[in-house]
């Protein structure tokens, strides 16, 4: 959450004002200005969450040895 708040604060007000002057509405401003600027934040958070999912999966499989059948399936496997 802090990562997204920092990303939103990095969007310059002048860019948003320029989009409004060019005639972009709030939805168009968000889709065409804010989201592309925050693309690195989305990528960083995806990498962090993927790392945590893989990390938790590794621990369960190491402790249970895979278990019988699908007993140790976790959301990280889907």
Number of structural domains the chain divides into: 2
Based on the fold, state whether residues 47 and 74 are members of the same structural domain: yes
Shared-domain flag, residues 77 and 48: yes
Is the same domain home to 50 and 28? no
- 34 Cβ contact list (under 8 Å, min separation 6): 8, 11, 16
pLDDT of the residue at 44: 95
- What range defines the domain where residue 64 resides? 42-78
The set of residues, in sequence order, having a beta carbon less than 8 Å from that of 54 and lying 6+ positions away, is 76
pLDDT for res 26: 94
Per-residue pLDDT of the chain (78 residues; tens, 9 = 90+): 899 999 999 999 999 999 999 999 999 999 999 999 999 999 999 999 988 888 877 777 777 776 676 666 666 555
Asked if residue 32 and residue 49 are part of one domain, the reply reads no
30 and 48, same domain (yes or no): no
pLDDT at position 73 is 67
DSSP one-letter string for 9-73: HTS-HHHHHHHHHTT--HHHHIIIIIHHHTHHHHHHHHHHHHHHHHHHHHHHHHHHTT-STTTT-
DSSP state of 76: G
Same domain membership, residue 56 and residue 31: no
| Same domain, residue pair 27 and 47 | no
């Amino acid at each position: 959450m802090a990562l997204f708040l920092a990303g939103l604060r990095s969007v310059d007000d002048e860019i948003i004002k320029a989009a409004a002057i060019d005639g972009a509405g709030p939805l168009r401003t968000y889709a065409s200005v804010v989201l592309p600027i925050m693309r690195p934040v989305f990528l960083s958070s995806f990498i962090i969450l993927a790392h945590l999912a893989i990390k938790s999966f590794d621990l369960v499989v190491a402790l249970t040895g895979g278990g019988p059948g699908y007993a140790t399936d976790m959301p990280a496997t889907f």
